[in-house]
């Protein structure tokens, strides 16, 4: 009866707010996922570079490469 006179409660704004929050949370979730994927690639790259550096140090320590070659390859790995 109250709806006829314009005094009724309209909950459409509540539904719009709820769906807007769901959309915002979905976008935030995608951004977090994207950031984690980027950081995972960086961490994998760092691990690979770190392992290469350890191998280079071992070769230098064993005398398999000269100091000049060690410094040159070290410079390449760090860039």
Q: Would you state the pLDDT for residue 31?
A: 96
Q: Would you state the pLDDT for residue 30?
A: 97
Q: Would you state the pLDDT for residue 75?
A: 87
Q: Would you state the pLDDT for residue 51?
A: 84
Report the sign of the C-alpha dihedral through residues 42, 47, 52, 58, in that order.
Answer: positive
What is the domain count for the chain? 1
Q: Would you state the pLDDT for residue 6?
A: 54
Q: Would you state the pLDDT for residue 1?
A: 47
Can you state the percent helix, strand and coil of the chain, rounding each to 5? 85, 0, 15
Residue 18 sits in which domain range? 2-78
- Walk along the chain (79 residues) in steps of 10 and give the mean pLDDT of each run: 55 82 96 88 67 88 91 85
């Amino acid at each position: 009866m109250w709806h006829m006179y314009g005094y009724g409660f309209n909950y459409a704004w509540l539904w719009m707010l709820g769906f807007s929050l769901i959309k915002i949370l979905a976008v935030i979730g995608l951004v977090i996922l994207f950031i984690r994927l980027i950081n995972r690639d960086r961490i994998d790259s760092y691990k690979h570079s770190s392992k290469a550096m350890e191998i280079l140090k071992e070769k230098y320590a064993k005398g398999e490469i000269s100091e000049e070659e060690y410094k040159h390859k070290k410079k390449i790995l760090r860039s």
